Amino acid sequence: MSTNLTIEPAIKFSYPSAKEFTYILQTVAELVDEVSIIVGPQGLKLNALDPGKIALLRVELAPEAFEEFSAEKEINIGTSIGNLTRVLKHIKKGDRITFAANEEYVEILLEGTTVRRYRFRNIEVISEDIPEINVEFDVEATVLANALRKAIAELSAVADTIGVGVRGQNELTLFDYDTKRVNYRFTPEAGTLVSINIKKQAEVPYDSEFMSKIVDILRLATSAELKYGEEAPLCIEFEVAVGGSVRYYLAAKM
């Protein structure tokens, strides 16, 4: 048993920046009350589908994404968001976060100037078997993540509905769908649009509250792929630099 742990772990992983890892946990906390994190030899996976089935978060992190990773077999880490929120309150800049779990317990260590330890029951979380989403998108664009994050954050503060649309062949636009008074343009000239493929002109509204839930996790990205369509959900997808991917799906607002 590790001298830093009070349980005999079946899996253990450490992320060098607890602050960065909380961007994932905070997004999960915005969507569900309980979460099941699957950890095995291939890495970490989690799905968080909100109760109304409006938004879905998928996260996959390879073993290489972690400072330390050990998992001889696959195990589910089931915990309430209330427990995670309790941990998040005590995270400080520069902290290292470690998760350890067995069939009975989940233990979280925060190591910085001091060591804080939290232990919870590993609960069974009933989650739906969510199939892969394979749809045809009308528009696929790659944009700078910081620009996208700023646009979503500022629009969600003033608008109930965020529209996503295109102009011409080289412009993606996010705007206040109801008033059309505020809009953010992503273009090659501004350096915010890396690429765009428009199969069909489309303008689709999305709930700004649900759109804003991805703001924190976008901090992990350099660029993000934004895909949407009149008959498809919005998909914001990006690679995590240390190894892994994040996908956020959002249904159109009716």
Residues 77, 151, single domain; the answer is no
Q: Do 96 and 147 belong to one domain?
A: no
User: Quick one: pLDDT at residue 150?
Assistant: 97
Reported as a single tens digit per residue, the pLDDT across 141-179 is 999 999 999 999 999 999 999 999 999 999 999 999 999
In a domain, 249, yes or no: no
With respect to residue 38, please indicate whether it lies within any of the assigned structural domains: yes
> Distance between CA 122 and CA 102 in Å, rounded?
8
User: Residue 26 domain-assigned?
Assistant: yes
pLDDT mean by block of 10 residues, the chain; 254 residues: 76 90 91 94 94 95 94 92 83 90 94 91 84 92 98 97 96 96 96 97 97 95 97 96 91 94
66 occurs within a structural domain: yes
Give 72-126 as a DSSP string.
SS-EEEEEEHHHHHHHHTT--TT-EEEEEE-SSEEEEEEESSSEEEEEEE-----
> How much is the pTM?
0.93
Q: Which domain CATH number covers 111?
A: 3.10.150.10
Q: Is residue 193 part of a domain?
A: yes
Q: Count CB-CB contacts under 10 A for residue 174.
A: 25
Backbone angle region of 183, left / alpha / beta, with phi > 0 → left and psi within -120 to 50 → alpha: beta
Q: Are residues 102 and 161 in the same domain?
A: no
For residue 222, being part of any structural domain is answered with yes
Q: Is residue 162 situated within a structural domain? A: yes
For residue 92, the tally of other CB atoms under 10 A from its CB is 12
Same domain, 105 and 170: no
Burial status of residue 168 (CB atoms within 10 A of its CB: 0-12, 13-18, 19 or more): exposed
Same-domain status, 155 and 100: no
Half-sphere exposure of 95 (CA within 13 A, CB side): 22
Domain that holds residue 176: 139-231
Residue found by looking up tokens 């989690």 in the block: 46
Q: Which two tokens stand for residue 70?
A: 């050990």
Domain end (from 93, 121, 149): 121
Task: Output the CA angle 202-205-209, nearest 5 degrees.
Answer: 145
